[in-house]
């Protein structure tokens, strides 16, 4: 069973995340969308809402599970018997950030990261931009899936 964990804050899930998850579906038998809980971080959307938006977006797709976790992503992967971490790359800034984390994850746990480059139509989208637009009463409807709207 080829299982991947797609970790993130998903505050909130965006069309950028949806793009990566949908395109990764043929590559894996199961994808666990894993919402990381970091007690030092302030979120705009509650954990319950973030989880619900993801579940509503992918409802009915058996290969996709939604879970929450604390601690190291590689420990969560081991617990779930997942061999891979799935990540999206929008630009070279993402790559620079991801590179050392991915290398560390191989070194400490033997977990490989699989990267998909985002589709050009969504490479501008990030959860933080969505939060900024929302905070200032802008229209987020072209940035997020229906469940968040």
Tokens of 28: 């894996």
Answer yes or no whether residue 118 interacts with ligand ADP by CB under 6 A.
yes
CA distance 130 to 142: 10
Using CA atoms, how far apart are residues 80 and 25, in angstroms rounded to an integer?
A: 18
Contact flag: residue 17 with ligand ADP (CB under 6 A) = yes
Half-sphere exposure of 25 (CA within 13 A, CB side): 12
Site for ligand ADP in 74-93 (CB under 6 A): 87-88, 90
Length of the chain: 149
Contact of 102 with 84, CB cutoff 8 Å: no
> Catalytic residue numbers?
17, 41, 90, 127
User: Closest approach of Cβ 143 to ligand ADP, in Å?
Assistant: 9
Single out the residue of 4, 5, 14, 31 in contact with ligand ADP (rule: CB under 6 A): 14
Provide the β-strand partners of residue 6. 33
* Contact flag: residue 123 with ligand ADP (CB under 6 A): yes
Smallest distance from ligand ADP to CB 125, Å: 4
Return the bridge partners of 114, or none: 86
94 binds ligand ADP (CB under 6 A): yes
Contacts with ligand ADP, residue ranges (CB under 6 A): 8-10, 14, 16-17, 19-20, 87-88, 90, 94, 118, 122-123, 125-127
């Amino acid at each position: 069973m080829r299982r991947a964990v797609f970790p993130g804050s998903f505050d909130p899930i965006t069309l950028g995340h949806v793009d990566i998850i949908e395109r990764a579906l043929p590559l894996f038998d199961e994808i666990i969308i894993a919402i990381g809980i970091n007690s030092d971080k302030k979120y705009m959307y509650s954990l319950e809402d973030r989880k619900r938006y993801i579940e509503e977006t992918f409802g009915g797709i058996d290969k996709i599970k939604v879970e929450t976790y604390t601690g190291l992503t590689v420990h969560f992967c081991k617990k779930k018997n997942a061999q891979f971490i799935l990540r999206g790359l929008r630009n070279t800034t993402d790559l620079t950030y991801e590179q050392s984390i991915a290398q560390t994850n191989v070194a400490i746990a033997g977990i490989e990261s699989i990267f998909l480059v985002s589709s050009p139509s969504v490479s501008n989208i990030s959860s933080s931009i969505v939060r900024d637009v929302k905070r200032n009463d802008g229209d987020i409807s072209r940035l997020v899936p229906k469940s968040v709207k």
